[in-house]
Structure 1
Amino acid sequence: MVCRTFEQARFRFKKAIKWGFRVSMVGPTLIDIREHIDGLGTKDGQYYVRCGRTGDRPVPAAGTRFPDRATARAAARATEQYRSALRRYDPQVPFYDLIVCEEMSRDTTAAHARESETDSPQDRLTDPVLTDSATPERHDLVEFCHRVAGAVFETLSERGYDGVESAVMHAYFQHAETVGDPDELCLCLLESMASELHKRLTPADQAEVLTDAATRLESPSDDDSPLDASLTALEQRGFIESYTRSPYSVGLDGGAGAVVVQISGYALSAHDKRLPVLPLTLELCRHHTEQSPQSVQVTAVDDGWQLTFSLADTGDQSGLVSASIDGKV
């Protein structure tokens, strides 16, 4: 059964379409809130925001530290406001019980971090605890999907791609009519997003959206191998089960040319002889900021998919969000 929150969201969306109103399921509000939280942060702060139940540090406060307890509380409230705004387009965005924590020293481990007034009412800022039967691996996968979707929706809204936003939501609501599993529905959202970006934006515009959206995700630590870091992160979140990769070929300019990656247990499904690769390329853009993928080629193999990422700028961008599949599916 579709939840009441979803029905309300669908009603508002369809009413806006009927009367020809501009629909922005995310709108500038998310951008404003993120900038507000970024403005509260400081590099050497000892306070941070996390969920008291799961330990997660949710977007958009993830990775940000704050100078004092009061500022961190303000960031926690803004974080809940941000996530409430996300639920206007995706009612399945997880609820968190946000609390403020203090890390005694940057050299100490998480075991030395103490919660700040854990049981104090002013630190419990979200809805009551909801029973969550999902495994930790499934939880990580779902949260990753929401982070990707939120970053892309922010980018589409800021760049004025209202038609793409509306098309994604139409497809999402159609899936929600038949898909009963909320976790499966969040995967459908990414599949719909990849499909609509492919159909409605040029490859150059797709590349700009990916680059912009990657900056809205938590910055990774310095990586010796951005590709391995990207694939390992996807594996840890349950988005792929395993991977192997080749060395990079050498491009005409002496830099990295292309790399072949074989993955198994990919979370997204192929449709119409195309594979949605949006989360893969976005994660690679997040880790490989200096040289993002220029094209992606996909071949069906016995145990999954073989992907060829081309980094060399040949002027032929393709397959960045949804790649054509060679071979039988």
Structure 2
Amino acid sequence: MIGATLVDIRHHVESLASDTGTYYLRCGRTGERPVPATGLYFEDRPVARAAARGTEQYRAVLRQYDPQLPDYDVIACQRPRTGATADGQPTVDVPPPQASESRTVDGRSRVDFCHRLAGALFETIADSPHDGVEDAIMDTYFQTAESIDSADELCLRLLESIATELEDRLDSDEQLEILRATADRLPPRPPTRDPLEATLSRLRSCTLLEEYVLERGTVEFGVLEPASRVMTVRGYALRRPGTRVVTLPVVVELLRRWTGRELSVDWVRVDAERRGACRLAVTTCRTDGSNGLLTVPEVTTS
């Protein structure tokens, strides 16, 4: 399976990394640090070049899932050093520049975010015992993609296809297991007192939503259980008006910041007077029925 190949390639690239390395990979045109080498450093330039080949192979395989995956010119760079010992040797590493996470959609932030998430999901599914899910996702995606030309729209439909098949084929516990394992594959997020607010801020920065308001609750969400937060989001890119809202990216981003074992998205309301703003309740405990981790249905209020 392609997914198993993704896992093997990622493990190979990670095996080349070194805690003391000073070389890293980036796109020569955009400055992006490409998956799966994001956050990794390598001991010398030959090793970094081997990692670059693995990274290019990884992205070529992932492109079989999504032909619109951004095309990077992967190069090896050495991070500069400051300071020197008595014999003139450098002593202090300076971290390499990072591409901003707050770029607009014109800077492909949304596309890159979706592809990183999709890649981690495919790896997780490939490592799972859920045979047939990968093929089902791609069948659903390709049927949808036939009528879409926009790369921006295609990356959203890819996430929607993944959410649809996982919801149809896995029970609530299996869904949470897949999403938590996916969150663990992505680079860790820094600790925060309010993981849900940080999650929504991240999604806004990559233009997956335009505005959000946390309507009630406290910053203790994720610390004291059970807890519930009600949020209103407007301009959410993964909302299908009149049908459902895909919650998958919200949940994965939250799980990168929160370590609790239970989670649900309980409901959605759409207020037509507020330009289609959606209200969702995120709860840190198990609920009866659907857990809303992948999608939730819309209910329009008068």
What band does the TM-score fall into relative to the shorter chain?
0.7 to 0.9
Q: Secondary structure at the match of 1:59?
A: coil
Match of 2:255 in 1: 285
**Aligned residue-pair number:** 283
Q: Would the aligned equivalents of 1:294 and 1:316 in 2 still touch at CA under 8 Å?
A: no
Q: Would the aligned equivalents of 2:141 and 2:158 in 1 still touch at CA under 8 Å?
A: yes
Cα distance in 1 for partners of 2:263, 2:163 equals 16
Deviation of the 1:228 alpha carbon:
2.1
* Per-residue CA distance 1:130-175 (angstroms, 9 max, x = gap): xxxx965450100111111111111111113232222211111111
Match of 2:292 in 1: 319
**Counterpart selection for 2:4 from 28, 32, 48:** 28
Equivalent positions of 1:1-329 (< 5 A) are 24=1, 26-105=2-81, 108=94, 110=96, 137-245=106-214, 246-248=216-218, 254-270=224-240, 273-291=243-261, 293-301=263-271, 302-303=274-275, 304-313=277-286, 318-327=291-300
More strand by share: 2
Cα distance in 2 for partners of 1:109, 1:162 equals 41
Distance 1:135 1:297, change over 3 A: closer
Q: Would the aligned equivalents of 1:47 and 1:67 in 2 still touch at CA under 8 Å?
A: yes
Q: What TM-score do you get using the length of structure 2 for normalisation?
A: 0.84
* Per-residue CA distance 1:114-135 (angstroms, 9 max, x = gap): xxxxxxxxxxxxxxxxxxxx96
Cα distance in 1 for partners of 2:226, 2:170 equals 27
Deviation of the 1:239 alpha carbon:
0.8
Q: Secondary structure at the match of 2:240?
A: coil
Cα distance in 1 for partners of 2:289, 2:218 equals 19
Q: Would the aligned equivalents of 1:42 and 1:65 in 2 still touch at CA under 8 Å?
A: yes
Distance 1:271 1:244, change over 3 A: closer
What do you get for the CA RMSD once the two structures are aligned? 2.6
Structure 1 gaps, min length 5:
1-23, 114-133
Q: Secondary structure at the match of 2:198?
A: helix
Deviation of the 1:275 alpha carbon:
1.4
Q: What TM-score do you get using the length of structure 1 for normalisation?
A: 0.78
User: Percent identity, aligned pairs only?
Assistant: 41
* Per-residue CA distance 1:187-240 (angstroms, 9 max, x = gap): 111112111211111111100010011111122223333222211111111111
| Aligned partner letter, 2:210 | E
Structure 2 gaps, min length 5:
82-91
